[in-house]
Amino acid sequence: MRAVFAPLLGGLVCASYIVATPSFALAQFGETAQVDAEMTSTNSLDPTAAGTEIRVTDRMVSQSLDELLRQSAGTRVVLSGASGSPFCLRLRGSPCDQSTVLLGEVPLSSPDTGSFDLSLIPIEALDEIQVWRGGAPSWINQGSIGGVLRLMPRRQESNEIGARVTFGSFESWRANAYGGYGGDKVRFFGTAGGAGAKNDYPYLDDGGTIFDPTDDVERRRQNADFTEGLGYANVSAETSDRSTLDMVFLGVGRDRGEPGPGSSPVLTARTKTTRLVGSASWLQEDDGQYPYRLQVLASYDYWRNRFSDPLGRIGSNAPKETDDRNHTVFGRVASTVDLQRWLELTAVATGRYYARKPFDDLATRQDPNSDRLTFSGTVETNFHGKAGNVLLELRPSVLLTWTRAMVATVNDFGQDQGQNSTDLLPTYRVAGAVGPLDWLAIRGSVSSGFRLPTVLELFGNQGVVRGNISLIPEKSIGYDAAVTARGSVGLLSGYASVGFFLSNIENLIRFRRTSQFTIVFENIDSGRNLGVESELRIQITKYFQLFGELTWTQTRDDSTGNALPGQPESQFLQT
């Protein structure tokens, strides 16, 4: 461990020198000015929250989304295969489905679709990645247990046109053309392209006999290829001196093989995915006597997933020709207003309707249609000011969520046997920060969160999964605290942050096998995630950056005393 900690320790010493040097706080160009001081933070939205911002468009070297996500503390990317295969993000040891994925303010993940496949997001469509661990800022209006991954859509400030092509091993390629216009009143950015790979990498097939090396054969992976096309556009237009209309469109289509286990390759199974997201957001800001920001947003999300396995080689061993279609309509109204120099009020209200229509051309009995209706609202008061030379900030907030999930079923006599499940979930967050020095801040928070049972967990399907209408949401209470130092001197700038977190989770949902071919989901005992996370960022001019993160996590399932699956105890990244 000494070799692992040494590089990060050296970086922290360097960052401490940067932020402790008095010259970074002096006025520029020999002038002085009276400004409202800002709390030292690792993010620009909420200094009381554990957030990391990762710029995308400033990169001179092309990087993938999973590579960029590893730059944030408390993250673990879970890959399911080669390029083009699904992957998701775990935050602070929590499973992927305990976190929310947003495109700006539009939710991409759903409590009924499980963990979101981040491989569907083209990096060309993003300006910035925000990783919020634990309780997220009230403007985001989410009460997830693990946190929130917020993908900021790319916007344009200048005129440009170009193209990019990359090639790699196993016939991998990626190409896109892009163009942007940065006018005074209207700004536009658009890109279109594609990607693919054969993914025929070699592997050792042991024939299913681990202890008998005589039948081992080196083979090449088959049916692991993928091809995808993508399109993204953003138009931003000033509707007045104080307001702006933003419209975003994202479309991705992918065709990939399902290769199955290496010892029993599958050559005929394929998955085709289409994802279309469109949103329109109107934002008005005023810096008058009572500065405010008002946003009205609407979006539509269409997701089609087709799976072909005519020989029944994947999953339940039954032949499948599925065509599942998902529709989501989302609306949001949000506002912040400065009632006093020391008091800011934030209020957010959202509504979301999700509908799923499954179909299997080879099934004798179809899975039922289902939908979910959700309304939520957040209110936060932000008290901020100074006591002498010490900056203070306190943000108490409450989030209330009402949801109703319903599945439409018909019995053998044609009678409607629809079932529904309703929950009312209040959550809270109390967070504060103290800035004793211009370059130093100490923050802490207590927050609660939840994960709703999915429609599949509640109502089951016509095959393997039995329904359990008595399931209740997973709930958590999380605590975290951190110390952050930030500043600049000469050509160097950056920050260093070290923090602690603890999350206690109740009513964990896990499946239990009821027979050889059926399972049921049940609420079991509680669990715990405990850890320490640290981040380092040092910018050397605008062309070079040194960053590192170190996370130590310990998880426990209280029902067994064992560690929760899928999370390493420690991980380290430096580049």
Q: What is the pLDDT of residue 463?
A: 65
Sign (positive or negative) of CA dihedral 500, 501, 502, 508: negative
Quote the CA–CA distance of 570 and 552 in Å, as a whole number: 4
561 in the Ramachandran plot: left (φ > 0), alpha (ψ -120 to 50) or beta? left
Mean pLDDT value across the chain: 86
Query: What is the tens place of the pLDDT at every residue in 5-24?
Result: 344 434 434 443 444 443 33
Neighbours of 246 (CB within 10 A): 19
Q: Is a pLDDT exceeding 90 seen at residue 120? A: no
For the segment 340-351, what is each residue's pLDDT rounded down to a tens digit? 999 999 999 999
For the stretch 273-301, pLDDT in tens is 999 999 999 999 999 889 999 999 999 99
What pLDDT shows up at residue 22?
A: 39
Element (H, E) at 513: strand 509-513
Q: How far is CA 36 from CA 43, 44, 348, 384, 478, in A?
A: 17, 15, 26, 11, 31
Q: What angle do CA 541, 545, 548 make, to 5 degrees?
A: 150
Query: Average pLDDT of 149-168?
Result: 90
Bigger pLDDT: 525 or 192? 192
**Residue from 174, 48, 182 nearest 119 by CA:** 174
- Flag whether pLDDT at 313 surpasses 90: no
- Binning pLDDT at 50, 70 and 90, where does residue 228 land? very high
pLDDT of residue 469: 85
> What six digits make up the tokens of 246?
């933003």
Helix (H, G, I), strand (E, B) or coil at 431: strand
Q: What are the φ and ψ backbone dihedral angles of 164, each rounded to 5 degrees? A: -140, 135
**pLDDT digit string (tens) for 357-414?**
999 999 888 888 889 999 999 999 999 999 999 999 999 999 999 999 988 765 555 5
Helices (H) and strands (E) in the chain, counts: 3, 30
Q: Which of 453, 565, 475 is nearest to 520 (CA)?
A: 453
User: How many other CB atoms sit within 10 Å of the CB of residue 165?
Assistant: 10
What is the CB neighbour count within 10 angstroms for residue 114? 15
Token pair recorded at residue 192: 């279109």
Cα torsion 217, 219, 222, 225: sign:
positive
The 3-state DSSP class for residue 458 equals helix
Contact 421, 404 (CB under 8 A): yes
Which residues have C-beta within 8 Å of that of residue 289, sequence separation ≥ 6?
none
Q: Are the C-beta atoms of residues 545 and 110 closer than 8 Å to each other?
A: no
For residues 107 and 124, what is the distance between their CA atoms, to the nearest angstrom?
19
Q: Distance from first CA to last CA of the chain, Å, rounded?
A: 18
Read off the pLDDT of each residue in 494-504 and give the average, rounded to a whole number: 95
- Checking DSSP bridges between strand 147-153 and strand 126-133, what pairing results, if any? antiparallel
